């Protein structure tokens, strides 16, 4: 039997990525070309700029991925591409590129849901079995998924407004810290007192696994303004305490909602993906929840937690093995919920509609 080797293409947000992955979970190459510099002046991703940059870079990134893997197109079994959800122009650029390669080579084409790419990553990195619970926490995503198969996802809950990474970024902005704010807020928080400034734990009083982070950010704004009004300014210690209080609130909410997700759906693994999973205290809180529920805690390496082509290649392999094939009618979908049966989530996040 010949080996399964897939090229994966990702262009749904602000990273142009391509990777070559084998059916036995080896990542032969993974190239990510970030666009952060192009969007830096605008305070968020500009869809038109992103789409143009993807169109310009896709061929180069694909070429580099093949070169680094030491393979030609003739060695591939198939091509997987993110077909949504995400910023429509970027997704279209990726889908067109993948269709072009498929048409030119005759290779099978498999359209992949970007969120499925994230959600299936622990199977690529650690070879875990279904079912498991996945918490996606990034600048654009925030949801709990029970994963039962390559195409079988149940959304247990999600944010009704901002994603946690977005809240970290906005809090950083309020406190004049650089963007992306998460790592800076974490560093400040390390030297702060989480108990001095009381902040809410939104939606903990309501049953279920839905979350809200927008009010928390507003509470930080109010606390900051009160401190400024009372003291005539904000001291370095105030900033550290505000960061510590905010981070503790996010960690508490994610931990309690994770506890509920595991109670609703007892599984052997709690996995996490997305940039916010890089946060030490949040990771520690989730690890603790998993241990108490008798589950293993799994956080893939950060370069595979954030947007990349390897997760798309892997999700493509899983779908391909199920017999899934797309053709030239494959279209880009800006919205594509993983759990087709779940009610749509409110809000869409600063990086565009994600689910």
**165 sits near ligand KG4 (criterion: CB under 6 A):** yes
- Chain residues 134-193 in contact with Zn ion, contact rule CB under 5 A: none
Q: State the nearest-atom distance from the C-beta of 102 to ligand KG4, in Å.
A: 26
92 vs 112 by CB, closer to Zn ion = 112
CB atoms within 10 A of CB 299: 20
- Taking CB under 6 A as the binding criterion, the range among 59-67, 175-183, 223-231, 287-295 that sits at the site for ligand KG4 is 175-183
Q: Where are the alpha helices (DSSP H) in 106-158?
A: 114-126
Question: CB within 8 A of 58, min separation 6: which ones?
Answer: 9, 11, 16, 18, 93, 94, 97
Q: Are 279 and 182 in contact (CB under 8 A)?
A: yes
- Chain residues 130-149 in contact with ligand KG4, contact rule CB under 6 A: 138-140
Q: State the nearest-atom distance from the C-beta of 9 to Zn ion, in Å.
A: 14
In the shown chain, the binding pattern of residues 96 to 135 toward Zn ion, with x for contact by CB under 5 A and - for none, equals ----------------------------------------
Q: How far apart are the first and last CA of the chain?
A: 38
Question: What is the rounded radius of gyration, in angstroms, for the C-alpha atoms of the chain?
Answer: 21
E strand or H helix that includes residue 236: helix 236-264
Rounded alpha-carbon distances, angstroms, from residue 186 to 129, 172, 192, 278, 318: 33, 10, 10, 10, 36
Out of 158, 181, 194, 337, the residue judged to bind ligand KG4 by CB under 6 A: 181
- What span, in angstroms and rounded, lies between the C-alpha atoms of 268 and 258? 13
**309 sits near ligand KG4 (criterion: CB under 6 A):** no
- Taking CB under 6 A as the binding criterion, the range among 34-42, 166-174, 192-200, 234-242 that sits at the site for ligand KG4 is 166-174
**Between β-strands 5-10 and 15-22, what pairing exists: parallel, antiparallel or unpaired?**
antiparallel
Binding partner at 139 among ligand KG4, Zn ion, none, C-beta below 5 to 8 Å by kind: ligand KG4
Strand partners for 79: 7, 109
Tokens of 298: 């799994």
**182 sits near ligand KG4 (criterion: CB under 6 A):** yes
- Taking CB under 5 A as the binding criterion, the range among 56-64, 229-237, 304-312, 322-330 that sits at the site for Zn ion is 304-312
**274 sits near ligand KG4 (criterion: CB under 6 A):** yes
Strand partners for 157: 144
**89 sits near ligand KG4 (criterion: CB under 6 A):** no
- What span, in angstroms and rounded, lies between the C-alpha atoms of 214 and 45? 19
Out of 15, 162, 169, 307, the residue judged to bind Zn ion by CB under 5 A: 307
Question: CB within 8 A of 277, min separation 6: which ones?
Answer: 137, 283, 299, 302, 305
- Taking CB under 5 A as the binding criterion, the range among 95-103, 225-233, 276-284, 307-315 that sits at the site for Zn ion is 307-315
Binding partner at 279 among ligand KG4, Zn ion, none, C-beta below 5 to 8 Å by kind: ligand KG4
CB atoms within 10 A of CB 275: 23
Tokens of 63: 């070429």
Q: Where are the alpha helices (DSSP H) in 33-113?
A: 36-39, 47-69, 88-105
- Taking CB under 6 A as the binding criterion, the range among 23-31, 59-67, 165-173, 290-298 that sits at the site for ligand KG4 is 165-173
111 vs 117 by CB, closer to ligand KG4 = 117
Q: Are 183 and 278 in contact (CB under 8 A)?
A: yes
148 vs 256 by CB, closer to ligand KG4 = 256
Binding partner at 275 among Zn ion, ligand KG4, none, C-beta below 5 to 8 Å by kind: ligand KG4
- Chain residues 283-302 in contact with ligand KG4, contact rule CB under 6 A: none
Out of 109, 135, 223, 278, the residue judged to bind ligand KG4 by CB under 6 A: 278
Q: Are 22 and 28 in contact (CB under 8 A)?
A: yes
List of residues contacting Zn ion (CB under 5 A) = 307
Interface ranges with ligand KG4 (CB under 6 A):
13, 138-140, 165-166, 168-169, 180-183, 186, 274-276, 278-279, 306-307, 351
């Amino acid at each position: 039997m010949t080996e399964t080797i897939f090229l994966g293409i990702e262009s749904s947000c602000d990273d142009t990525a391509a990777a070559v992955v084998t059916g036995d979970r080896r990542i032969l190459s993974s190239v990510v070309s970030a666009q952060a510099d192009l969007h830096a002046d605008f305070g968020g991703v500009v869809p038109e700029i992103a789409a143009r940059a993807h169109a310009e870079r896709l061929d180069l990134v694909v070429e580099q991925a093949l070169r680094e893997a030491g393979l030609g197109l003739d060695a591939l079994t198939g091509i997987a591409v993110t077909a949504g959800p995400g910023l429509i122009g970027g997704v279209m650029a990726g889908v067109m590129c993948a269709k072009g390669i498929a048409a030119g080579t005759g290779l099978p084409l498999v359209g992949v849901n970007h969120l499925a790419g994230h959600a299936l990553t622990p199977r690529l990195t650690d070879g875990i079995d279904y079912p498991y619970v996945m918490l996606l926490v990034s600048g654009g995503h925030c949801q709990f998924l029970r994963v039962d198969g390559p195409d079988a996802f149940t959304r247990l809950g999600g944010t009704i407004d901002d994603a946690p990474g977005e809240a970290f970024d906005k809090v950083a902005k309020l406190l004049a810290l650089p963007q992306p704010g998460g790592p800076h807020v974490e560093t400040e928080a390390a030297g702060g007192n989480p108990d001095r400034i009381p902040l809410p734990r939104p939606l903990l009083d309501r049953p279920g696994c839905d979350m809200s982070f927008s009010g928390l950010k507003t509470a930080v704004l109010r606390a900051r303004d009160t401190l400024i009004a009372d003291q005539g300014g904000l001291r370095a210690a105030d900033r550290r305490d505000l960061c510590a209080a905010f981070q503790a609130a996010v960690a508490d909410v994610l931990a309690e909602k994770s506890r509920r997700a595991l109670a609703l759906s007892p599984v052997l693994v709690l996995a996490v993906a997305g940039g916010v999973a890089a946060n030490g205290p949040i990771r520690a809180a989730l690890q603790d929840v998993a241990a108490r529920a008798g589950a293993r805690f799994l956080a893939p390496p950060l370069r595979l937690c954030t947007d990349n082509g390897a997760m798309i290649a892997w999700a493509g392999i899983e779908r391909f093995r199920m017999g899934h094939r797309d053709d030239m009618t494959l279209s880009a979908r800006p919205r594509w919920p993983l759990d087709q049966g779940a009610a749509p989530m409110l809000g869409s996040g600063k990086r565009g509609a994600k689910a």
